[in-house]
């Protein structure tokens, strides 16, 4: 978990640096290509970071849900605890 925080902090510092660089380049009258490259990076880098995080969540192997056995059966033989046929009539 600590590695995740370090990467998040590095990403935030990178984006803040790019934002400051965009302001400095705009004020100093830098060539249009430089400013456009920084603005593109400000938009593209967060999109790539989000996509990478999304893919790690989707592709991460996880345990099967509680109601499903390892072989894929939903456990139809055992009655549900909350079903109406449990005998707890009022």
The whole-angstrom distance between residue 67's C-alpha and the CA centroid of its chain comes to 26
Look-up of token digits 């990403």: 11
The answer to whether 18 and 41 are in contact (CB under 8 A) is yes
Q: Which residue has the higher pLDDT, 22 or 85?
A: 22
Q: Please, how many CA atoms are within 13 Å of residue 22, restricted to the half-sphere of its CB?
A: 14
Query: Which pLDDT score, from 0 to 100, does residue 81 have?
Result: 54
pLDDT digits (tens, 9 = 90+) for 10-61: 989 999 999 999 999 999 988 989 999 999 999 999 999 899 888 888 887 7
Query: Which pLDDT score, from 0 to 100, does residue 80 have?
Result: 53
User: Containing H/E element for 47?
Assistant: helix 32-59
Residue range 1-15: mean pLDDT, rounded:
87
Is the pLDDT at 83 greater than 70, yes or no?
no
Q: Which residue has the higher pLDDT, 25 or 87?
A: 25
């Amino acid at each position: 978990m600590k590695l995740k925080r370090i990467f998040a902090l590095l990403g935030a510092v990178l984006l803040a640096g790019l934002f400051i660089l965009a302001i400095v380049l705009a004020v100093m009258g830098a060539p249009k290509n430089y400013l456009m490259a920084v603005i593109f990076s400000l938009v593209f880098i967060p999109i790539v970071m989000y996509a990478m995080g999304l893919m790690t969540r989707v592709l991460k192997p996880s345990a099967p849900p509680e109601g499903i056995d390892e072989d894929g059966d939903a456990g139809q033989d055992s009655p549900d605890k909350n079903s109406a046929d449990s005998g707890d009539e009022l």
